[in-house]
Amino acid sequence: MALSPDQPTTVAETAPPAAQPTAQPEGAQAEPSLDDVLADLSAEYDRGTSEPSEPEKPVEAADTGNKFVTRAEFEALQANQMDADIDKAVAAVKEAGAGGSDRAIRAMLYQLADEKRTFKQAFVNRGNNPQGWDRALKAAAGEIGRELGAPVDAQVTADTEALAAAVRGSNSATAAEDDAPAFAPMSDGEFQDWKQKQG
């Protein structure tokens, strides 16, 4: 379809084609890709079934019982809530099986928000459409998991290192050092005799 500058377009019309699905075992449910989930959310927004919301606008002062909240305090509360929601998203991605540090996962989420407008909109709209945000986050967790890999199991790593050391024979090196005599107190003749015995 050729797009003209006068013709309005949607994200779904300009999105690149989805990657070909990989073969799944019979009976296994394929999880939708992040692009598929975001295209669905974009279509919902376009249809008006789930209107995207704008971030809440801070107010000058709000009466919360007997205490007034200044604009700066309100913005700080709003930022704290956003940080808490991002921390929940990081925890959800880790729970879904993605490896990597919290910092790496957080960076990947920020990068997805920069690259995919609909993912960012799903986060902004999380209060009005929590199911849409959960779907987008689950799909993002799969993509992040593929990029960062599975979490590292410390016990498996220790076992692998112990096995590799045993195969290399690292324990025999200490035994050879223990068989050597103390050379410092030896005379030259004793040292020459020891060398001849060693071959």
**pLDDT, tens digit (0-9, with 9 covering 90-100), for 117-158:** 988 898 988 888 889 888 998 888 888 888 887 666 778 778
- Asked whether residue 102 is assigned to any structural domain, the reply reads yes
- Asked whether residue 194 is assigned to any structural domain, the reply reads no
Residues 38-47 pLDDT 10s: 888 878 777 7
- Asked whether residue 114 is assigned to any structural domain, the reply reads yes
Mean pLDDT across the chain, nearest whole number?
74
Instruction: Provide the domain count of the chain.
Output: 1
Instruction: Determine the Cα–Cα distance for residues 193 and 97; give it in Å rounded to an integer.
Output: 64
- Domain of 121 in residue numbering reads as 59-163
- Asked whether residue 108 is assigned to any structural domain, the reply reads yes
Q: What is the pLDDT of residue 170?
A: 60
Using pLDDT thresholds of 50, 70 and 90, give the confidence band for residue 15: very low
Orientation angle between helical segments 34-47 and 117-124, nearest 10 degrees: 60
- Asked whether residue 157 is assigned to any structural domain, the reply reads yes
Q: Please report, rounded to a whole number, the percentage of residues in the chain having pLDDT higher than 70.
A: 68
CA dist list (Å): 56 to 69, 74, 78, 109, 199: 16, 11, 9, 21, 85
- Asked whether residue 178 is assigned to any structural domain, the reply reads no
Contact, 41 vs 47, CB < 8 A?
Answer: no
- Asked whether residue 42 is assigned to any structural domain, the reply reads no
Query: 84: closest CA among 74, 73, 76, 94?
Result: 76
135 vs 28, higher pLDDT: 135
- Asked whether residue 169 is assigned to any structural domain, the reply reads no
Contact, 18 vs 33, CB < 8 A?
Answer: yes
Q: What is the pLDDT of residue 166?
A: 80
